[in-house]
Amino acid sequence: MLRDLSYMLTYSSRLDDYSTLCRALLASSTIVLLLIIRWSSESIAIELTRLILVLSFEFYLASLARGLRGVLAGLKLISLFAIIGALVFCVSYLVGWLAPGPIMLVPGMLRLVSLFLGFSLLFQLVSFQEWRSILSKLGLKNQSVILSMVLSQVPTIIHYLSEAITTVKLKYKGKRLHKVATPLTLLSFLTSRALTESYIVYGLPTYSELTTYKRRDLSLYLLFVILVLLEIMISNLLPLLIEVA
Amino acid sequence: MRKGGNCVLEIANLWFKYPNGDWVLRGLDLSVSEGEHVLVIGETGSGKTTLTRIITGSANLIYDGILKGRVAINGISLEENTEAFTSQVALIGQNPYLYFTEPLVRHDLYSYALSVHGNVERAVKALNKAIEVTDIQDLIEKYFFELSGGQAKRVLVAKALISNSQLLLFDEPLMWLDDVGLKDFINLLNILKVLRRSVVIFEHRFMPLIEHVDEVYVLKNGKLTRISNRLHAFKEAGGKVHHGFDCGPNCKSSSNGGNVLLETVDVHFKYRNSSDYVLRGINLKLCKGDLVLLYGSNGQGKTTLLKVLAGYLKPSRGRVTRKTDVIYIPQNVVLFYTESTVEKEVVEICKARKMSDVHVKLGIEAVKKLGIDPMQSPFNLSHGQMVKLAFELARTSNSEILLLDEPFSGLTYGDRLELLRHLVESNCTAIVATSNLDAIGSPYWTKLYKIESGKLVVLNPISSPSLLYASRLYEEIIGVE
């Protein structure tokens, strides 16, 4: 499950046919769209419909990079969090604690999955090298190097996390799983020191050329425009339809 | 240094210490000529890693150490021009996965080629040449975390060739390599020999390499001693080292007659997204006092089998019966430790099993017997001590079965033997997974298995004294001043 997650944070060369601008724009616009939906939906029904539309668009983009099976595998872990959240929600409702009610469950879970998928698209659609170039063009050269240093080690850290969980679970008979934080913190220090040594030998990573337009971009832009139009239609027409009904 | 060659690396009267520390290197001398391959062996903590840090320039830049003496590559001194100095050397470290800045191998190599050569045309040319020489065409479209340790090291050698580095340093290159990876590495050395690149290898597991290098040195008391002649004389006197085994029929059951602590019947396992089984029909019976060796190349299912036996992974088919507690010690043993002191480790592991204070006291006494101060941090221990302490903690917790994943990685032959003896003396029941043949010849195993494509077969070892032999050889040469 953790391994699948690490694939969700890596760029796939299947997307080389689309320009950097198109990929970066669509990945970031999707997150903006999700935030707009969160704060501008008048009812749960509207929010739900709009979320499903964006989620479908996210699935389409992610499957261009990973294939649909890869996306579903990567979403397993986050779905687990969503289910745990839902269970906590149900228990809170049953025992009478402050809980917004079971009807809020579905949009809550959808929000979590769509936001996770949205953020993962930032790294699935745009490579670290391209992010470095974009950030350095924005005047954030040092930050871009730090970001790529951190992100390049995410898969390794995920592997360590999986090993640490197995070990600590057996060591403490399934209890005190939070203790995995200690060896992982130490490993992070050791890794960062070794990484610095490797940068001295191999130098800092380079920047890639950013492309602004490729022919296949048009299809994605068109799809995004349709999505936005549908979103506008739903947010304006659906309240009227509900009122009439 | 060999006669007649141009001197690539020159180290003369080198002294080095870390801030607030004692001198680690004390008047060390080393010369490596063009195309020469040198092997440096030494105990843990003898200064091998420090020497690599000095040659790569990081000892000064990161660790702020105090350095005296001369270090130069191709006549460029470290003190005079650090940048030009470091550009002459490439390091392939213990953990090769730390040297990637891009997830996709092709992107990583291209990005590096571009930074070295400046323009796209030259970068692509250098990249293609490096890929061809190191034969990594089948790896370049993979993510670096999908590569095995051996494959990742091969990619790093390609990276070194892109930069035209004259000197390549390998820090424990055989760590995490199975016997297939070892062959790959030796092939790489031969390629580098043809390309006349100078190589310095720092390695504990020296036996497979001594035939493939020009000179062998021992690092001891901060100085290097050339031992090539002595090593060959010892080898000639001691006879040949051989690793031999044959495989018996598919293992059905094996028992030494004691209490059965763990049993698997027809265990199959596959990961949820995969259609292929990682484990196929595993039948294993572990009795009290059994010391089992599980040998197999990387990716054959050793770690998966250990996790299934531990109960962390559920078998897709078949049955696992455990009659006692299990403790798993991972390859990266640092992950086993969670407390600030060794004493707290003992207390917490007992607390988790609701054991009395008497057990805690006994546990602390056992730790002291290992020569470990209970008040020190477990993270300050050497790798060998960490593994031994993990054994002891498992014994204290009354967990009767120990599952060890590659515990020998990064240990000297002497330490490996000592670990094995410790396991035997502790009267543990353990399964030790390893990807190296050299542990097979040990007389301590009660059962030997090979795992291949997920199937378990019994190994019948023919006389294979490699570990004992190497350990004796090591004691002999390390004792030489």
- Assess if residue B439 is contained within a domain: yes
- Assess if residue B376 is contained within a domain: yes
Q: What is the pLDDT of residues B244-303, one digit of tens each?
A: 333 333 333 344 556 889 999 999 998 765 678 889 999 999 998 888 999 888 778 888
Whether residues B230 and B362 fall in one domain: no
pLDDT band at residue B32 under the 50/70/90 scheme: very high
pLDDT band at residue B219 under the 50/70/90 scheme: very high
> Tell me, what CATH number does B133's domain have?
3.40.50.300
List CB contacts (< 8 A) between B334 and chain A.
Answer: 183, 186-187, 190
CA distance B223 to chain A (A): 24
Whether residues B113 and B155 fall in one domain: yes
| Residue B383 reports pLDDT greater than 90 | no
Smallest CA-to-CA distance from B294 within B134, B454, B170, B83 is with B454
Q: Which residue has the higher pLDDT, B476 or B245?
A: B476
Whether residues B423 and B372 fall in one domain: yes
How much is the pLDDT for B481?
Answer: 35
- Assess if residue B480 is contained within a domain: no
Contact A200 B62 (CB under 8 A): yes
Structural domain count, chain B: 2
pLDDT band at residue B172 under the 50/70/90 scheme: confident
Least confident interval from A180-184, B175-179, B429-433:
B175-179
Asked if residues B450 and B423 have their Cβ atoms less than 8 Å apart, the reply is no
List CB contacts (< 8 A) between B53 and chain A.
Answer: 197
| Residues 6+ positions from B170 with CB-CB distance below 8 Å | B92, B199, B200, B201, B202, B203
Contact A128 B336 (CB under 8 A): no
How much is the pLDDT for B263?
Answer: 92
Whether residues B216 and B346 fall in one domain: no
- Assess if residue B452 is contained within a domain: yes
How much is the pLDDT for A208?
Answer: 73
* Domain end (from B202, B236, B270): B236
How much is the pLDDT for A131?
Answer: 86
d(CA B418, CA B412): 10
Whether residues B68 and B193 fall in one domain: yes
- Assess if residue B244 is contained within a domain: no
Buried b (16+ CB within 10 A) or exposed e, B18-39: eeeeeebbeebebbbbbbbbbb
| Residues 6+ positions from B94 with CB-CB distance below 8 Å | B171, B172, B175, B176, B410
Is A89 in the B-facing interface, judged by CB distances under 8 Å?
no
| Residue B480 reports pLDDT greater than 50 | no
Q: What is the pLDDT of residues B360-376, one digit of tens each?
A: 999 999 899 888 899 99
| Residue B479 reports pLDDT greater than 60 | no
* Domain end (from B220, B236, B252): B236
d(CA A117, CA B223): 56
Give the pTM.
0.76
Whether residues B69 and B216 fall in one domain: yes
Q: Residue A127: closest CA among chain B residues belongs to which residue?
A: B102
Contact A182 B338 (CB under 8 A): yes
Contact B98 A73 (CB under 8 A): no
Contact A197 B53 (CB under 8 A): yes
- Assess if residue B93 is contained within a domain: yes
H helices of A43-104, where?
A: 44-66, 68-95
Backbone angles phi, psi at B323, to 5 degrees: -105, 5
Beta strands in A102-245 (DSSP E): none
How much is the pLDDT for A78?
Answer: 66
Whether residues B109 and B199 fall in one domain: yes
Q: What is the pLDDT of residues B112-156, one digit of tens each?
A: 898 888 888 999 999 999 999 888 898 898 888 878 777 888 888
* Domain end (from B236, B271, B289): B236
Whether residues B215 and B271 fall in one domain: no
Asked if residues A20 and A217 have their Cβ atoms less than 8 Å apart, the reply is no
Whether residues B325 and B225 fall in one domain: no
pLDDT, averaged across chain B: 83
Structure tokens, A34: 């999700």
Q: Which residue has the higher pLDDT, A35 or B437?
A: A35
Whether residues B40 and B166 fall in one domain: yes
Whether residues B286 and B211 fall in one domain: no
d(CA A240, CA B323): 66
Nearest to A148 among B86, B101, B272 (CB): B101
Whether residues B317 and B229 fall in one domain: no
How much is the pLDDT for B224?
Answer: 93
Q: Determine the average pLDDT of the residues in B171-178.
A: 82
Element (H, E) at B33: strand B23-33
- Assess if residue B275 is contained within a domain: yes
- Assess if residue B117 is contained within a domain: yes
Q: Which domain holds residue B408?
A: 260-463
List CB contacts (< 8 A) between A180 and chain B.
Answer: 335, 338
Q: What is the pLDDT of residues B58-79, one digit of tens each?
A: 888 888 889 999 999 999 998 8
How much is the pLDDT for B274?
Answer: 66
Is B107 in the A-facing interface, judged by CB distances under 8 Å?
yes
Q: Which residue has the higher pLDDT, B464 or B89?
A: B89
Is A75 in the B-facing interface, judged by CB distances under 8 Å?
no
How much is the pLDDT for B286?
Answer: 92
To which residue do tokens 């009439």 refer?
A244
Measuring CA to CA, how many Å separate B300 from each of A136, B277, B278, B445?
Answer: 44, 11, 7, 21
| Residue B197 reports pLDDT greater than 70 | yes
Is B310 in the A-facing interface, judged by CB distances under 8 Å?
yes
Sign of the CA dihedral running B295, B296, B297, B303: negative
Q: Which residue has the higher pLDDT, B388 or B11?
A: B11
d(CA A126, CA A143): 17
- What parts of chain A have a pLDDT lower than 50? none
Q: Residue A167: closest CA among chain B residues belongs to which residue?
A: B328
Contact A200 B349 (CB under 8 A): no
Q: What percent of chain B has pLDDT over 70?
A: 88
| Residue B468 reports pLDDT greater than 90 | no
Measuring CA to CA, how many Å separate B86 from each of A92, B9, B82?
Answer: 61, 12, 6
